[in-house]
């Protein structure tokens, strides 16, 4: 999914940095400017980084969307070193970008763009609006639903408001004549 892709991109960025570091160490070794003690000194931060990355990968293996974000956050909370927390924060920020794009589209446009089923709001294709030919007296309750397992912990308190904001806007825009909503004073927050 998009969240996993963003996380992999962040991991790839870290691996590229590590590769550059290894190249510099290799050059120093070839120039006879690197002792075993110096190698250990320069490798230690990378060893710690890879240990954190391993914990993150183990926590998010097989997960998508909000569960990935929760796994990264869990590792961050359990880490006692500030460098480990900073690393997890970087990974979380990168992985959150596509998720927040989904939240933004839902809250501001009433559109659900979730091709990988990562978002905590899902649309039921079986429930149809009476206007489009299907009996659905409870369209409001069943068309868009909340998947509690996909809610990131940092959005848990706002999940119902996010769900209803998108629902209201979706219903309004599907019933309103084509046009664009006016931009709120001060722009989008």
Phi, psi of 138 (to 5 degrees): -105, 40
Distances 138 to 30, 73, 113, 123, 169 between C-alpha atoms, Å: 73, 36, 23, 14, 17
Beta strands in the chain (DSSP E): 121-123, 144-146
pTM comes to 0.80
Tens-digit pLDDT profile for residues 60-92: 999 999 999 999 999 999 988 888 999 999 999
Please report the sign of the dihedral spanned by the C-alpha atoms of residue 116, residue 159, residue 141, residue 104.
negative
| CA 30/CA 168 separation, integer angstroms | 65
- Whether residue 54 is predicted with pLDDT greater than 80 in this model: the reply is yes
């Amino acid at each position: 999914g998009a969240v996993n892709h963003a996380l992999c991109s962040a991991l790839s960025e870290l691996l590229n940095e590590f590769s550059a570091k290894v190249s510099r160490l290799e050059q120093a070794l070839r120039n006879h400017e690197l002792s075993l003690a110096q190698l250990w000194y320069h490798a230690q931060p990378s060893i710690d980084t890879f240990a954190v990355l391993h914990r993150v990968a183990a926590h998010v293996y097989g997960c998508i969307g909000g569960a990935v974000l929760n796994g990264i956050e869990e590792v961050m909370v359990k880490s006692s070193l500030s460098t480990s927390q900073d690393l997890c924060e970087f990974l979380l920020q990168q992985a959150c970008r596509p998720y927040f794009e989904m939240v933004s589209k839902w809250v501001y446009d009433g559109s659900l763009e979730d091709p990988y089923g990562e978002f905590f709001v899902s649309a039921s294709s079986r429930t149809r609006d009476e206007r489009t030919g299907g009996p659905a007296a409870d369209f409001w309750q069943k068309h868009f639903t909340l998947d509690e397992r996909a809610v990131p912990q940092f959005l848990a308190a706002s999940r119902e408001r996010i769900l209803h904001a998108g629902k209201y806007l979706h219903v309004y825009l599907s019933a309103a004549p084509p046009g664009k909503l006016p931009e709120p004073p001060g722009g989008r927050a």
